[in-house]
Every structure is written in structure tokens, then in C-alpha cells.
Chains A and B, each alone.
Chain A
Amino acid sequence: MNGHTVVIGVGNALRGDDAAGVEVVERLNGRVPPGVVVAACDEEPSRLIEAWADADAVVLVDTVASGERAGTLHRFDAGETPIPARTLRSSTHAIGLAETIELARALGKLPARLVVYGIEGAAFESGASLTPAVEDAVGKLVDTILGDLERETCTSAR
């Protein structure tokens, strides 16, 4: 395995399904091949850009809201093209994940390979736990990412 892959889970552990990305990296902890770094992060831009600063390949995991069924898995290759996020124009928070990726692209600080996995969330209430469909998706995605990492083909699964 190359020594420059980072898996970053994004989210807030106290807001229901928003915790999915963090949950994924918690389950990956200790199971990834040597040299792969696993980190939880909020999507604050300088921290995210810092988190992938020296990486060749980055896997980002976040909860998404697109209107699909809860637990639906999205996969985007963000190294080449922006992800189709509404946050670019109408963020619900400061600088979103999609904006951070584009900010890094504008500054030439994007890793060579960047895969974004999104787990469709359903409930985001304070203090809620993961909904069952999202919990299942977390488990599946952990296996998928482990498979990707084993094959060293994070970006060419399709």
C-alpha cells in the first residue's frame, strides 16, 4: 500500500445521521493497511486542506442530503470535476465540503486522487442516533473502502 492515502470522515457525532462519516472512520480505525491514515474532521476548510496536505490519495466520507432513500450510497471522483453540490451557492454552513474542495482546487492544493463517498441521511436532530438504513450503509461502506484500499484502486473502481 502506498504511504500517502488518507481517509477522512466528516460530520458531527451529535446530530443523528450527520455522524455517518465519523462512524465510518471509527470502524476503519485499526483495520486499514499500514501507511493509511484515518482521521475524523469537521469540514472547516483549513483543517481539511491540512488533513490531506501530504496525501497522494484521499477518501472523504460525509453524510449527504439529496432526496434519495436513507442509506443510499453516492460516490464521486472529485479529483477531476466538482461534486454536484448545492452547497456551492447556498451553503447551510460556513464553507462546505464541496466548497472546500473547490477552494483547494483554486489554490492548487487538491490531492492527485480524491474520492468522496456520501451516505444519504434522513434524520439530523440533536442527540439522535443513526437511522437503521444509514447504520447498514456505514457497514457496507467500511467494507467497500477496505476493499478499495486493499486493491490500491481508490479512484478506479468504476
Chain B
Amino acid sequence: MAKRRTIVTDYLARVEGEGAMTVKLDGDEVEHVELRIFEPPRFFEAFLRGRSYLEPPDITARICGICPVAYQTSSVNAIESLCGVEVPEPIRMLRRLLYAGEWIESHALHVYMLHAPDFLGYESAIELARDAPAAVERGLALKRVGNDVMTLVGGREIHPINVRVGGFYRVPTKRELRTLVEPLERAREAALETVRWTAGFDFHERTVECDLVALTEPDAYAIENGRIVSSAGLDLSPAEYEEHFEELHVERSNALQSQLRGGGRYLTGPLARYSLSFDKLSPLARAAAAKAGLGETCRDPFRSIVVRSVELVHACDESLRLIEAYEEPDAPSVPVEPVAGTGYGVSEAPRGLLYHRYRLDAEGTILEAKIVPPTSQNQLAIEDDLRDVVARNTRLDDDTLRGLCEQTIRNYDPCISCATHFLELDVERR
């Protein structure tokens, strides 16, 4: 007689924000897999209506404490493209540097604090810190350098305040940027060590078959802008995004889930970026990837931890290159006059493609805002992967299976909603 069981995790530990997972099994049959997401962008879309076209970088930066620069960048890209402004090269480079700082910070957090404990059999980073303090210290030090880049270029690390439509409020001097060189060189060494460390973990062999979608640029590993490219051959401008991707409202959550129009699953994030732009990684990052045993593409979600580590090397390398090449711009920003119409903006948040669309009137008042975060784009692919992982491991006991499910979800670094920070307490009553 087949035994029915339900595996529920009310709050997913070590996932950014709140989330919950339910898996229902009937014997070896997977009946139901569900990832619930509580998501703040819907609130922000409403909050933005009626505001000035200059406000989105400040407002959307508050959606996420981990990737504020991603939100700022996609928003300024959308508005500047509508208003016909292309920012000067030094400003573009500074934006890329700021964004690389966010990648370093976010990837270091995920690799060391959230994901590595899964592979090493620890409940959390705390137990890992007791047994391997040097590794955890290395992760915190890496993160710290990302913070420093964000603070210097962005004005503040949590919700950078220095980004504006048209550029920055203030740009750093060459001398100021040079103070980051030595810390970034150390961070690059730590990143290389991170690749070696994670490459030595034990991996479940997995392959995801869905389309991979990422931004690409002709001469760079796309970070702060680019064209939307897929492994199936799409090559789109940001304005064409919604012609090919659609959002479905899911009853069980506030979130909208994305799919290819017509129903195809797709995945954004490190695996997609790496697989579509391997040849654009810095030589050092490519060499580290090869030594770690990665090919030129990677469709194994468990190995995303190694890919993130390779991206850490690239982000440090790229930051050093940008600082070396930096020339102070004539002005910190260029004027941007409002234009009636719709603007589209994209960028590569640490966890994947982030799409913004804004409709403005001639005075620059926002009539409509649309934000599609990477996690809602990845949600269906995550659920598919989860279903398959469960189907292959039905013989595991509940606790082991739950752990494997949580790890499967963490493979995608979902940013479910890091907008609340209250502490949940179990108070003992007498």
C-alpha cells in the first residue's frame, strides 16, 4: 500500500526573505510541488505611480537589501533609454563597478553563509564557523570588499543613494578609487580560493534542460545592461522582452510567475550567464573555471555554487580593470528631460535578469511601472527541478528529503523578499 506523505517547510532557512515549500508524495508518486513566495515588487509598482521619473532609483533600491543596485540600474536604464540619453563612458563604467561590488557582496553571502553549509553537512554557517572559522572569515572579508566598493561608489552600502537618472550625484576621484585596488586584489585571491574550495564539494549530478536566458554584450560579460539572449536563439532588445515572456498570476502567492509565451520554462542567473557568455569572462576566471572542472557551459544547479565563485573572480578582476581605466567624467551626470512614452530597462542582478518598464507622461509623471524580478522568472524552473529531485529520491526519509529540497531551492539563490527583518522569537512561558 502506497504511503502518503507531505513535506512542508514553513519558512525556508537560508533563503533570502520569506518563503515556504510544500511537497506531497503518494508512495513514489510526486503529487504536488509548490514554492510559495511573498513578494514586495507589487507594492512598489503601485507606490511608483504618480511619482516623478527621477524617483525610481531611490524608491526601487528599497525593494531588496541585497541587490539594491540591480533595481536602481534597471530603473535608470529604462528611463534613460526612453528619454534618449546615453550616459558617458566613465559613468557607465562607474555603474558597472558599483554593480560588480553588489555581485561580490551578494555572491559571497550566498556561497559562504547560505549555500556552503548544505554541501558540508552543517545546519547553518554558525556550525561551519565553529569548525572552519578561516573559511567563514574569508567569506566575510570578501563580502566586506563588496561593501566597500558599494559604499565608495554608491554613497552608502545598504540602499545606495548616489545613483540618479543621468548618472551620479557625485563621482569618486581617481585617487579615491585607487584605495580599492589593494582590497580588491586580496578579494580576488580569496575568490580564487573560493573556486578551489567549492570545486572540492560533493555534488549530486543534475542537468536542467530548460532554456537559459541572460543578457549579453559584444565585448563584456554582461552586468549592468545588454541584449536578452537565450540558449534557444532569442536575441532581443529590452523593449521586446514582453513580446516573448509573460507573467502568470499564481493564486497561492502575491507573486507572478514568468514563462516563455506559449508555456516554455526558462532559467536566468549564474548558470545562464556563464553558459551564454563563457568566452567573455576574464582569462583568470576562465582558467579558474577550467581548473574547477567546469566546461564552457554548466546546466547543473548544484554546481551553481562553483559558477558563482567563478563570477566572484570575474567581478574582482573586472572591478580592478575598471578602476585602472577610470577617467573622471566632465560632470557627474547628464541632464535627462522627460519624454512621454514607455521605457524598458534590464540588468543582471546577482540572481538573474531584472526587467523594469515605466510609462511616463510628457511632464515625467509615472503612469505605470512594471518590475519583473529574477526569482519570479525562475520560479517555474525551480518547481520543475524540485519535482524531479523529489521523484528521484522518494526513498529518502522525510528529514533527509526536506534537506535535499531546501538545498535544491537554495541552488537558485532565490530572493523571495528580504524586505522584512523582524526577529521571530520562541518565548518560553512559565
**A107: Cβ under 8 A from any B Cβ:** yes
The residue among B157, B426, B427 with the most chain A CB atoms within 10 A of its own CB is B427
Provide the bound-state CA to CA distance between A103 and B421, in Å.
17
- Contacting A at CB under 8 A, from B39-74, are 40, 43-44, 47, 62, 65-66
Q: Which residues of B contact A80 (CB under 8 A)?
A: none
| Residues of chain A in range 79-116 having any CB-CB distance to chain B below 8 Å | 83-99, 102-103, 106-108
Is A42's CB under 8 angstroms from B124's CB?
A: no
Q: Which of B40, B157, B423 contacts A63 (CB 8 A)?
A: B423
Task: Quote the shortest CB–CB distance from B8 to chain A (angstroms).
Answer: 12
Across the interface, A62 reaches (CB within 8 A) one of B11, B66, B136, B422, namely: B422
Is there an interface contact between B427 and A84, defined as CB atoms closer than 8 Å? yes
A90 near B137: Cβ-Cβ < 8 Å: no
Interface-central residue, B44, B144, B426, by most chain A CB under 10 Å: B426
Shortest C-beta distance, A131 to chain B (Å), equals: 13
- Per the bound structure, the CA–CA distance linking A103 and B140 in Å amounts to 11
Q: Which residues of A contact B425 (CB under 8 A)?
A: 64-66, 74, 83-86, 118
Given A46-B147, A88-B124, A126-B43, A96:B423 Cβ within 8 A: yes
Given A94-B114, A127-B47, are A106 and B130 also a contact pair (CB < 8 Å)? Answer: yes
Interface size of B by Cβ–Cβ distance < 8 Å? 46
A108–B11 alpha-carbon span in the complex (Å): 29
Number of interface residues of A (CB under 8 A): 51
Task: Determine how close the nearest CB of chain B comes to the CB of A49; give it in whole angstroms.
Answer: 7
Is A5 an interface residue, CB under 8 A from the partner? no
Query: Would you give the shortest CB distance from A73 to chain B, in whole angstroms?
Result: 12
| Chain B interfacial positions (CB closer than 8 Å to A) | 9-11, 13-18, 40, 43-44, 47, 62, 65-66, 109, 113-114, 123-127, 129-130, 133, 136-137, 140, 143-144, 147, 157-158, 418-428
Q: List 15 A-B contacts (CB under 8 A).
A: A44-B66, A47-B158, A63-B423, A65-B423, A84-B428, A87-B423, A88-B124, A90-B13, A91-B14, A93-B16, A93-B18, A93-B420, A94-B113, A97-B423, A106-B127
